[in-house]
Amino acid sequence: MAVKFFDLKTKEEQNAFIERIIFYCLVFGILLSLLLAFLPKQTTNYSLLYLKPNSYSNYLENNVVYFSFGIKNNESADTNYAVKYFLGEVQYREKNFFVKKGEIFEKDDAFSVSGEQIKFPLQLKIAMSSGETNYQVYFWIKERK
């Protein structure tokens, strides 16, 4: 049998009813807080590969293209990254970088681009892998302004 607030006759019965509701709400809130405090926290592990803004030009300077990229390690441990550089579809070089957990690694780099077989626009791609996860960024190089 449910008790309705307005069916209670005296002020004392109404106050006792309100106090019981407040007590149950407080107990529920405390139990819920304890449950959430002790549940295992899910962390999102990921890495971030990026081109630094304004670090590159889409045009060659004396047949050289300059750029800067960064790696942010948000993994659960220190991580070794294999980074491959591509001009078009051709792999130009490969390097490994070790980045500690929570740290950022940034690198300034340059490529010499020459040869009659080069066709513009040319894509410069940086591909990074760590374990089974792959990331890539790229920009386009044009022949002239």
Confidence (pTM): 0.68
Q: How far apart are CA 98 and CA 3, in angstroms?
A: 67
Q: Give the C-alpha distances (Å, rounded to integers) separating 135 from 75, 83, 126.
A: 14, 9, 8
Predicted confidence at residue 2, as pLDDT, reads 63
Query: What's the CA gap between 133 and 85, in Å, rounded?
Result: 17
Q: Confidence class of residue 6 from pLDDT cuts 50, 70 and 90?
A: low
pLDDT given at position 64: 87
pLDDT one-digit tens code per residue, 104-113: 999 999 988 8
Residue pLDDT, tens place only, 72-86? 999 989 999 999 999
Domain ranges of the chain: 8-38, 46-141
> Would you say residue 3 has pLDDT above 70?
no
* Token code pair at residue 83: 């980074």
Range 46-71 average pLDDT = 90
In the chain, the amino acid numbered 26 is: L
Q: Which two tokens stand for residue 72?
A: 């942010």
We find that the CATH architecture of domain 46-141 is Sandwich (2.60)
Confidence at residue 11, expressed as pLDDT on a 0 to 100 scale = 80
